[in-house]
Amino acid sequence: MLDNCALITLVHAVSWSGSLTLPVCSHALPGVSAAHLYFILWNCQLMLSYRHAFHAGNHADVLKHYVQIQLLQYLNQKDTAYSYIDTHSGAGVYALDGGYASKNAEYETGIAPLWDRTDLPASLAEYLKLIKEMNPSGKMRYYPGSPYCADQVSREQDRLRLFELHPADAKILADNFRKVEAHAQAQGERPSVRGKRVIITKADGFQSLKALLPPPSRRALVLIDPPYEDKMDYRKVKDTLADALVRFPSGIYAVWYPVLQRMESRQFADKLKQLPATEWLHVTLTVNTPSPDGFGLHSSGMFILNPPYTLEPMLREVMPYLVKVLGRDDGAKFVLETGKGGVRNTGTRRV
Ligand code: SAM
């Protein structure tokens, strides 16, 4: 009988590689026929859904959370409050020595190589500082999710609206924030202020975004970070952004996505470039040549609509460094491009 962890690992292997040779798989799992395995996996994929804990702290998280923090810090430059809306929040905090994260230990090729570096570019050092502060013992035990990064970087006047659909992760997220809140109160913060500041909802983030736009202060960062296990997520991201840009054209929208062989992924950035935002920025980080069997995540991207002018120069400095430190073979590289929104295959500037 397969244990839960093995099963979930297989589900993830299927979803990120796009396919899995089931005969090979059932060979590795004697007593389970290919047809039976396919049936189990198909059902589990629908049932269990994605758990970010498997991937916490990997190279894709490094890129995503580094960019997220830069965007929030840009918004911090003005006193006016802003909303941070996380449509796909995950659990908020991950234990790297816990069952899920330690299973594949993806953080070993993500945050780990950065941990003891003393030559980090300044903006990357700020990202690392946030993570080190949640690990006061100095040992790398916890990794923050996007809601925790937002909580740490935003100010008292800002509003965090966090959505998570998976019942288990929504509960862990709420529990984690209760702990953060208890800690903040112990430090002397007024509970009523924090109560209004962070609202966690177990709901579909794509659908829920509509009601929050435009935000009262007309300033917001929206992070859209779905699992993409269901290829419909690519379409949903684009449709959600098209709707959001009508409701709130000047918002900053940041989308994470996995760079995969599947057509939806390959065409994704080009489709987002056609959205009617004033400007866009697209950055990808590839850490190794794709493996012949298609296993593993070798590359991911962030696509930002209405990026602040500060982001591109920071990425120009940080991306070569990330390639140098996280790159695993000659296939490691980054791509950084910017352009004006709403145009088909023109106006792109590689930087
Ligand atoms: N943003 C998180 C971070 O950086 O720490 C990670 C999010 S993870 C990639 C995607 C999350 O979206 C999963 O926890 C999954 O349960 C959740 N999810 C899937 N579909 C959703 C939906 N329609 N609405 C809200 N959450 C969803």
Taking 70 as the threshold, does the pLDDT of residue 40 lie above it?
no
Q: What is the pLDDT of residue 11?
A: 42
- What distance in Å separates the CA atoms of residue 29 and residue 15, rounded to the nearest whole number? 19
74 and 24 in a single domain? The answer is no
177 and 67 in a single domain? The answer is yes
Q: Ligand 1 atom closest to Cα of 55?
A: 9
Q: What is the pLDDT of residue 23?
A: 35
What is the pLDDT confidence band of residue 51, given thresholds at 50, 70 and 90? Answer: confident
Residue 156 CA, ligand 1 centroid: distance in Å = 25
Q: What is the largest CA-CA distance in the chain?
A: 63
Q: Is 248 in the pocket of ligand 1 (CB under 6 A)?
A: no
DSSP 306: S
- What distance in Å separates the CA atoms of residue 253 and residue 306, rounded to the nearest whole number? 7
Q: Which domain holds residue 21?
A: 4-46
CB neighbour burial string for 7-31, b if at least 16 within 10 angstroms, e if fewer: bbbbbbbbbbbeebebeebbeebee
Which pTM was predicted?
0.86
38 and 95 in a single domain? The answer is no
Q: What is the pLDDT of residue 15?
A: 43
Taking 50 as the threshold, does the pLDDT of residue 12 lie above it?
no
Convert 269-285 into a string of H (helix), E (strand) and C (coil): HHHHHCCCCCEEEEEEE
Residue-wise pLDDT for 134-152, tens only, equals 999 999 999 999 999 999 9
Residue-wise pLDDT for 73-120, tens only, equals 999 999 999 999 999 999 999 999 877 777 788 999 999 999 999 999
Residue 45 CA, ligand 1 centroid: distance in Å = 14
Q: Ligand 1 atom closest to Cα of 226?
A: 10
Q: Ligand 1 atom closest to Cα of 163?
A: 25
- What distance in Å separates the CA atoms of residue 288 and residue 296, rounded to the nearest whole number? 10
Q: Which residue has the higher pLDDT, 21 or 161?
A: 161
Distances in Å between the alpha carbon of 5 and those of 50, 51, 104, 224? 12, 11, 11, 27
Could you tell me the two tokens for 218?
A: 């007309």
Active site residue 225: yes
32 and 160 in a single domain? The answer is no
Pick from 88, 142, 235 the residue to mutate for probing ligand 1's pocket: most ligand atoms within 8 Å of its CB. Answer: 88
| Catalytic residue from among 3, 225, 230, 243 | 225
Q: Give me the number of domains the chain comprises.
A: 2
Q: Is 145 in the pocket of ligand 1 (CB under 6 A)?
A: yes
Q: Is 163 in the pocket of ligand 1 (CB under 6 A)?
A: yes
27 and 138 in a single domain? The answer is no
Of 10-14, 21-25, 35-39, the poorest mean pLDDT is in 21-25
- What distance in Å separates the CA atoms of residue 344 and residue 351, rounded to the nearest whole number? 19
Taking 80 as the threshold, does the pLDDT of residue 20 lie above it?
no
Residue 282 CA, ligand 1 centroid: distance in Å = 21
- What distance in Å separates the CA atoms of residue 291 and residue 235, rounded to the nearest whole number? 27
Q: Is 164 in the pocket of ligand 1 (CB under 6 A)?
A: yes
Residue 32 CA, ligand 1 centroid: distance in Å = 31
Q: Which residue has the higher pLDDT, 135 or 32?
A: 135
CA 128 to chain centre: 16
237 and 325 in a single domain? The answer is yes
41 and 101 in a single domain? The answer is no
Which secondary-structure segment (H or E) carries 237?
helix 232-247
How many alpha carbons lie under 13 Å from residue 278 in its C-beta half-sphere? 9
Residue-wise pLDDT for 195-218, tens only, equals 689 999 999 999 999 999 999 999
Q: What DSSP string describes 40-89?
A: HHHHHHHHH---GGGTTTSHHHHHHHHHHHHHHHHHTTSSS--EEEESS-
Taking 50 as the threshold, does the pLDDT of residue 16 lie above it?
no
54 and 121 in a single domain? The answer is yes
Q: Is 337 in the pocket of ligand 1 (CB under 6 A)?
A: no
CATH number of the domain where residue 314 is located = 3.40.50.150
Which amino acid, one-letter code, is at 201?
T
Q: What is the pLDDT of residue 351?
A: 67
170 and 196 in a single domain? The answer is yes
What is the pLDDT confidence band of residue 194, given thresholds at 50, 70 and 90? Answer: low
33 and 128 in a single domain? The answer is no
Q: Ligand 1 atom closest to Cα of 52?
A: 8
190 and 222 in a single domain? The answer is yes
The single residue listed with the structure tokens 């590839």 is 286
Residue 229 CA, ligand 1 centroid: distance in Å = 11
Residue-wise pLDDT for 223-276, tens only, equals 999 999 999 999 999 999 999 999 999 999 999 999 998 999 999 999 999 999
